[in-house]
Amino acid sequence: MDKFTLNLFEEAELIQMGSEILCTGAMVLRGFALCDETAIFKALDTITIAAPLRYMVTPGGFRMSVAMTNCGSYGWVSDHNGYRYDAIDPNNGQSWPNMPDVFLHLARRAALCAGFDNFIPNACLINRYEPGTRLSLHQDKNECDFDAPIVSVSLGIPAIFLWGGLRRADRPIRVPLLHGDVVAWGGAARLHYHGVLPVKPGYHALTGSCRINLTFRKAI
């Protein structure tokens, strides 16, 4: 039995909670972040004061519609030179804000629940979607170690996540992600194409009209 195979009791427990396995190595943990929401938003305030959300520019010269910032030892950045992880925030020449303990612990617990032992993320990318914002189908390939999973935390207004296959042409399934949902992706699922449909207008008490997504990665 591989590490992704749950026994009947474990599976029953997850179904009970509304969680599901999207495919080998990709597990949705419904509401997993809800217990920590207050601490998460407090930490987000501190992070975005030091490293404000900003619209990065693609190598092709287009302004991205998702606003981004980072915390942790490394941050994902994009500019006319390309995409990369960098220890320095290009906006201020300083290190990115520290990854708060509540973030690190949440990511590690979620990874463990999904069968990934001892996940040590050193980067947390923070994405903000305003209504109408989408993220086109892509693979996450800037990280050095594809054996490490990625953990994603959805906050605020809902979005429809697109979950494709290993080839761009594989037709994606649609997975609604709500406030507090956490997904862990690794193993065979790590290099699947994925994206986000244009976010519908909405309101959430903690984010206003936006959706926020945190992704925890072992960048380097």
Which residues of the chain form contacts with Fe ion (CB under 5 A)? 140
Residue 59 to residue 56: CA distance in whole angstroms = 10
213 contacts 53 by C-beta, under 8 angstroms: no
> Which tokens in the block code for residue 25?
């190595």
Element (H, E) at 70: strand 67-72
Q: Which stretch binds ligand MD3 (CB under 6 A): 53-61, 85-93, 184-192, 202-210?
A: 184-192
Q: Which is nearer to Fe ion, 16 or 171 (CB)?
A: 171
- What is the number of alpha carbons within 13 Å of residue 171 lying toward its C-beta? 0
Among 140, 146, 160, 204, binds ligand MD3 (CB under 6 A): 140
70 contacts 96 by C-beta, under 8 angstroms: yes
Other C-beta atoms within 10 Å of 72: how many? 24
Q: Considering the rule CB under 6 A, would residue 150 count as an interface residue with ligand MD3?
A: yes
Q: Which is nearer to ligand MD3, 100 or 129 (CB)?
A: 129
Closest residue to Fe ion, Cβ-based?
140
Closest residue to ligand MD3, Cβ-based?
213
Among 44, 148, 213, 219, binds ligand MD3 (CB under 6 A): 213
Q: Which does 27 bind (CB under 5 to 8 A by kind): Fe ion, ligand MD3, none?
A: none
Residue 69 beta carbon to Fe ion: minimum distance, rounded to whole angstroms: 16
Q: Considering the rule CB under 6 A, would residue 44 count as an interface residue with ligand MD3?
A: no
Residue 207 to residue 41: CA distance in whole angstroms = 9
Burial of 30 per CB tally in 10 Å (0-12, 13-18, 19+):
middle
Q: Which is nearer to ligand MD3, 43 or 126 (CB)?
A: 126
Residue 214 beta carbon to ligand MD3: minimum distance, rounded to whole angstroms: 8
Residue 121 to residue 143: CA distance in whole angstroms = 11
- The site that binds ligand MD3 (CB under 6 A) totals a number of residues, namely 15
Residues that bind ligand MD3 in the complex, under the rule CB under 6 A:
125, 127, 135, 140, 150, 152, 183, 185, 189-190, 192, 194, 196, 213, 215
